[in-house]
Structure 1
Amino acid sequence: MSELFIVVGLKAKEGKEDQLRRDLSVLVEPSRNEDGNIRYELYEDQAEPGCFVFFEGWSSVQAQARHHEHGPHIQHFHENGISNVEKREFAHILKRIV
């Protein structure tokens, strides 16, 4: 198994920045506590409020898939909080070079 790192950028709908910030913030601790999590961090662009970036590290593709497909907090976000997202700006799956 090899580690998996992911960077995802989400842009909030206009006027929904605060709500999306709250929705995304509650995902952090439960995700960090999942088996196979290496890191799970949430950032907001200082120059562009409402543009959020997740940096995730997982011990394997399988650990990330369990998180994304079966994590109750992630499922709750997809059923409720996703409505505050204007668009996914980017999603990059990374491999460590050094």
Structure 2
Amino acid sequence: MSEIAVVAISVAKPGYEDRLREALEGIVGPTRKEQGALQYDLHRDVQELRRFVFVERWESQEALAAHAKSAHIRAYKEAVADWVEHSEVRVVSKIV
């Protein structure tokens, strides 16, 4: 089992910043309780206020896969589908 990290970026459509922020904040608590979640921190870009960034660490790829299938993540994705202009998820492994 090897630890992985994730950088997940969501950009709100203009006018949907507050709604998206609330939805993102709503998944932090449940996700932090998930088995294998080591870090799950939400950030906001200081220059582009529509851009939100999660910095995540997971015990394994399997833990991340389970997270992606969780009920709260499925519900979140359905709720925000019309509010997000762009999203990107990068899974990385630490070198040093």
1:21 equivalent to 2:21? Answer: yes
Normalised by the size of structure 1, how large is the TM-score?
0.93
Tell me which residue corresponds to 1:78.
77
Distance 1:12 1:2 in 2: 32
Backbone CA RMSD of aligned residues: 0.9
Which residue in 2 is equivalent to 1:49? Answer: 49
Task: Tell me by how many angstroms 1:94 deviates.
Answer: 1.1
Normalised by the length of structure 2, the TM-score is: 0.94
Equivalent pairs counted in the alignment come to 96
Secondary structure of the structure 2 residue equivalent to 1:35: coil
Deviation at 1:28?
Answer: 0.5
The aligned residue for residue 58 of structure 1 is 58
Counterpart of 2:3 in structure 1 is 3
What secondary structure is seen at the aligned counterpart in 2 of 1:80?
Answer: helix
Identity of aligned pairs, percent?
Answer: 39
Output the amino acid matched with 2:26: V
Structure 2 segments unaligned to the other structure (5+ residues): none
Separation (CA, whole Å) in 1 of partners of 2:89 and 2:63: 18
Q: String of CA shifts for 1:16-47, please: whole Å, max 9, x gaps.
A: 00000001110101000000000001100011
Cα offset for 1:82?
Answer: 2.6
